[in-house]
Amino acid sequence: MLGAEEAALVRGVWQKVESAKDEMGEETLTRMFLVYPKTKTYFPHFDLHHGSEQIRNHGKKVVTALGNAIQNLDNLRQTLADLSNLHAYNLRVDPVNFKLLAQCFQVVLAVHLGQEYTPEVHVAFDKFLTAVAAVLAEKYR
């Protein structure tokens, strides 16, 4: 998955994300709902307006889960097992949405990090988020 240098980049960037994770989670979900409106179908009970408390809270959950995955890069399958089961068996979320969310998170990272979002950081996070999406989608097979 990630080489040692890439893992170090992801962990280093994550320290910057921690201070703004609530905001970044909300921005990621808001962006996903705007750019990929079909993703809204999995949130019929949510107030999907900009600034919604429900979007803010769910965004916080998403980013917290990513942080947990970063702390456990060597054991993503076990770390994300409960989320994988929840999304596959209970929520029945289309696994394509994990990739769409990852793309939106990459954009939010780039906006927040600016010059610090180097091509190397982009590649490292892309590999990480691709691995997370793959693990979350495993139960669908």
Kindly report, residue by residue over 77-133, the tens digit of the pLDDT. Answer: 888 888 787 676 666 877 788 999 999 999 999 999 999 999 999 999 999 999 999
Q: What is the DSSP string of 4-63?
A: HHHHHHHHHHHHHHHTTHHHHHHHHHHHHHHH-GGGGGG-TTS--STT-HHHHHHHHHHH
Task: Identify the pLDDT of residue 112.
Answer: 95
What domains, with CATH codes, occur in the chain?
A: 4-140 (1.10.490.10)
Kindly report, residue by residue over 19-70, the tens digit of the pLDDT. Answer: 998 999 999 999 999 999 999 988 888 888 888 999 999 999 999 999 999 9
